[in-house]
Amino acid sequence: EDFVTRLAQLTGQGALTIYAWALLPNHAHLLLRTGARPLARSMRSLLTGYAGAFNSRHNRVGRLFQNRYKSIVVEEEPYLLELVRYLHLNPLRAKIVPNLRALDRYPWSGHSALLGSVARPWQDTPTILMHFGPTIARARRAYRAFVAAGMPQGRRPELQGGGLLRSRGGWAAVAALRRGREAYRGDERILGSSDFVEQVRRDLQKASPPAARRRPLADLIGRVCAATGSHPTALQQGSRRAAVARAREGIAYLALEIEGYTGRTVADVLGVNAPSIYRAAQRGRAAHKQWHRLIAQQRE
């Protein structure tokens, strides 16, 4: 329930629009549209927050999630409804529920919300149901029949993304640039036509700062330390002085989210672990206007 509550909060903030979802014992599936907030930031909020609350409830420490999340960019028109069906059938394929009737009432899936069995006001059910009929009742009947027709299909590798990427090439370098900004690194793939894949690749290349234009990390550290009245060696010695902590947060935020460095790279330079850098970057975001002004002044 905590995971679902956090999803609802993200939709309420306009960060995500959820079309389909399913929670399984050891993983979850989400079909969503991002809002103004980057997906990496939303996933960091969702996963880090959930893991922290889970650890607190169960008196445990350490990482909760074994692997990074996988994100697949989807071409909407040919794949939306197929993915809704495929994703919502996951509990049935995993034998968590015995049949479709039980799936209709399964509370940890968007399928029951689309049928009206469970109220999930944060889930965007109208966008999906409008494809199935002019009234809610007719749309729900047609949607359920559509899901039932997909039951014999089993697993469908063609809906899991990745094939076009391997054939097109060129994505790995762009994905690597994006990963530097993610606390929970995503395994990014694309599901769509070759034209769609190429367009996404071009868009990401425009949005991602090439390594050649990156500010050298040593220069960034020096300038942030100068602005905060701290010394670079104090960062590596683990000082907890307020000025040093503030410098660490500013460096982490600027290096990860503006310059595109990986958390591991920054962590190695500062002599700390990567999770500490991601947490520092999150705190540094609160003062993002100050850090952006610092960068703007240095580039004038």
Q: What is the pLDDT of residues 163-199, one digit of tens each?
A: 333 323 333 433 443 444 333 333 345 555 555 455 5
Q: Are residues 139 and 35 in the same domain?
A: yes
> Are the C-beta atoms of 63 and 73 separated by less than 8 Å?
no
Q: Are residues 249 and 113 in the same domain?
A: no
What's residue 204's pLDDT? 56
Q: Are residues 80 and 115 in the same domain?
A: yes
Q: Over the stretch 60-82, which tens digit does the pLDDT of each residue have? A: 766 666 556 666 666 555 678 88
Residue indicated by tokens 């609160």: 286
What's residue 203's pLDDT? 60
Write down which residue in 181, 207, 233 finishes a domain: 207
Q: Are residues 116 and 234 in the same domain?
A: no
Q: Are residues 77 and 131 in the same domain?
A: yes
> Are the C-beta atoms of 160 and 166 separated by less than 8 Å?
no
Q: Are residues 277 and 167 in the same domain?
A: no
Q: Are residues 124 and 228 in the same domain?
A: no
CA distance 95 to 104: 14
What's residue 239's pLDDT? 74
3-state SS track over the chain: CHHHHHHHHHHHCCCEEEEEEEECCCCEEEEEEECCCCHHHHHHHHHHHHHHHHHHHCCCCCCCCCCCCEEEEECHHHHHHHHHHHHHCHHHHCCCCCCHHHHHHCCCEHHHHHHCCCCCCCECHHHHHCCCCCCHHHHHHHHHHHHHHCHHHCCCHHHCCCHHHHHHCCHHHHHHHHHCCCCCCCEEEEECCHHHHHHHHHHHHHHCCCHHHCCCHHHHHHHHHHHHCCCHHHHHCCCCCHHHHHHHHHHHHHHHHHCCCCHHHHHHHHCCCHHHHHHHHHHHHHHHHHHHHHHHHHHC
> Are the C-beta atoms of 207 and 91 separated by less than 8 Å?
no
Write down which residue in 180, 207, 234 finishes a domain: 207
Q: Are residues 174 and 268 in the same domain?
A: no
CATH number reported for the structural domain that contains residue 251 in this entry: 1.10.1750.10
Identity of the residue numbered 53:
A
The rounded Cα 228 to chain-centroid distance in angstroms is 32
Q: Are residues 231 and 164 in the same domain?
A: no
What's residue 93's pLDDT? 92
What's residue 54's pLDDT? 72
Write down which residue in 207, 230, 263 finishes a domain: 207
Q: Is the pTM above the cut of 0.75?
A: no
Q: Are residues 179 and 245 in the same domain?
A: no
Which residues in the chain land under pLDDT 50? 158, 161-188, 196, 300
Number of compact structural domains in the chain? 2
> Are the C-beta atoms of 99 and 187 separated by less than 8 Å?
no
What's residue 78's pLDDT? 63
Parallel/antiparallel/unpaired status of strands 187-191 and 70-74 = parallel
What's residue 181's pLDDT? 38
What's residue 89's pLDDT? 94
Write out the residue range of the structural domain in which residue 150 sits: 2-207
> Are the C-beta atoms of 122 and 11 separated by less than 8 Å?
yes
Q: Are residues 94 and 147 in the same domain?
A: yes
Q: Are residues 148 and 221 in the same domain?
A: no
> Are the C-beta atoms of 115 and 140 separated by less than 8 Å?
yes
Residue 138: CB atoms within 10 A of its CB come to 12
Calculate Rg over the CA atoms of the chain.
Answer: 22
What's residue 111's pLDDT? 97
CATH number reported for the structural domain that contains residue 185 in this entry: 3.30.70.1290
CA distance 174 to 197: 12
What's residue 187's pLDDT? 39
What's residue 109's pLDDT? 95
